[in-house]
């Protein structure tokens, strides 16, 4: 099950179908894995506060991933996306907000599934998986301009 909570109305103002976009991307990233994911669509300030509290980085970021403890199964974890950061990045990268949200959702869910990009080999493997999932959703390669997630989830 994928639960999408829209805390900041700016999300639905800019992307009325945002909940469906997130649900489809999260489902594609989960593939055959059984589990629950909660996605919170909020504002920059809320993400900044969580980033400061849990990661000691006092600034907003695009997506935060919080994997659940194994004892919380079937809950896999939570994703939090910051509206302002996502909109700014989509514009700067010349992408639609919907495609950028799809990418960030897939990226975040892969973190919940234990994928990471701490070193080059991990990054290449995770990015290849993202490309495959996103291609299935009709999204162009997000790394074609060598975009990375230096400060992400």
Domain-wise residue ranges, the chain: 2-136
Residue whose C-alpha is closest to residue 80's, from 22, 13, 24, 135: 22
d(CA 13, CA 145): 28
**CATH fold for the domain made of 2-136:** Collagenase (Catalytic Domain) (3.40.390)
Over residues 46-55, the pLDDT tens digits come to: 999 999 999 9
Over residues 81-121, the pLDDT tens digits come to: 999 999 999 999 999 999 999 999 999 999 999 998 888 88
Beta-bridged to residue 39, according to DSSP, are: 4, 79
């Amino acid at each position: 099950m994928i639960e999408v909570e829209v805390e900041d109305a700016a999300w639905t103002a800019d992307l009325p179908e945002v909940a469906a976009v997130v649900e489809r991307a999260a489902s594609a990233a989960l593939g055959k894995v059984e589990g629950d994911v909660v996605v919170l669509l909020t504002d920059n300030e809320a993400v900044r506060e969580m980033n400061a509290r849990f990661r000691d980085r006092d600034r907003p970021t695009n997506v935060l991933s919080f994997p659940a403890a194994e004892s919380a199964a079937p809950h896999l974890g939570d994703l939090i996306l910051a509206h302002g950061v996502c909109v700014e990045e989509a514009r700067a990268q010349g992408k639609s907000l919907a495609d950028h949200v799809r990418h960030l959702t897939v990226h975040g869910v892969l973190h919940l599934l234990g994928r990471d990009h701490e070193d080059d080999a991990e990054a290449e493997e995770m990015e290849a998986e993202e490309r495959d999932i996103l291609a299935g959703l009709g999204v162009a390669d997000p790394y074609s301009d060598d975009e990375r997630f230096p400060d992400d989830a």
